[in-house]
Amino acid sequence: MIRLSYGRMLQDGLDGTHGLPRARLAELARRFASVQAEVRQRRGAGEYGFYQLTDQADTVRGIRSFAEGLGQAHDHVLVLGT
């Protein structure tokens, strides 16, 4: 089981200025079901290709090869597409 501890991202757990206000978190929580439904719909329509990444063995091999080779010279690598 995964447990998410988010207390240190809340405003009242920090300095009162930075972080997420609890009211905003509550608002986002109310929207979660509708956002999740939209993601499922868009995933089903093929808009989110990254979900199929595990089924793209050649692409994954290429990314890993890059990451283990030339990618070591960089702190950050952004893969925009295949």
Domain ranges of the chain: 1-47, 49-82
Burial bucket for residue 34 (CB in 10 Å: 0-12, 13-18, 19+)? exposed
| pLDDT tens-digit readout, 16-66 | 899 999 999 999 999 999 999 999 999 999 998 888 877 888 888 888 888
Alpha carbons 56 and 44: distance in angstroms, whole number: 17
Which residues on neighbouring strands pair with residue 20, listed in sequence order? 10
SS (H, E, C) 30-80: HHHHHHHHHHHHHHHCCCCHHHHHHHCHHHHHHHHHHHHCHHHHCCCCCCC
What's phi and psi for 19, nearest 5 deg? 100, 180
pTM of the predicted model, to two decimals?
Answer: 0.50
- Per-residue confidence (pLDDT) for residue 55, from 0 to 100: 82
